[in-house]
Amino acid sequence: MITLDAEKEAKSAGNIKVANTIMIGVLSKYLHIRTETWKNILRENVPAKSIDENIKAFEIGRNYSNNK
C-alpha cells in the first residue's frame, strides 16, 4: 500500500489542481508504460498553459518515496 498526501504535494508544487497528476505519476511506476508515453498523454490532454506544471507534478509522483 502506498500512502500519499497528494494535496500537500500539489500545494508544495504550487497548484492544488495537479494532485491527480501526482497520483498518476505514482501509479505509473507500477504499470509497464514508458514514462515518455505518459508525458505525451499529458501534453495531448491538458491545457497548453498548464502542461509544464502537470509534467512537473507527474515527475513528483513518479519520484515519490513512501519513506517520507
- Kindly report, residue by residue over 19-39, the tens digit of the pLDDT: 999 999 999 999 999 999 999
- Residue 27 Rama label (left phi>0; alpha psi -120 to 50; beta): alpha
pLDDT attached to residue 30:
93
Q: How far apart (Å, rounded) are the C-alpha atoms in residues 58 and 23?
A: 8
pLDDT band at 2; cut points 50, 70, 90:
confident
The verdict on residue 14 lying in a domain is yes
Asked, for residue 24, whether it belongs to a domain, the answer is yes
Domain carrying residue 49: 6-62
Q: Is the pLDDT of residue 68 over 90?
A: no
Model-level pTM? Answer: 0.89
Provide the pLDDT for residue 67: 56
**Nearest one of 37, 31, 28, 30 to 59, comparing CA atoms:** 28
Q: How many domains does the chain have?
A: 1
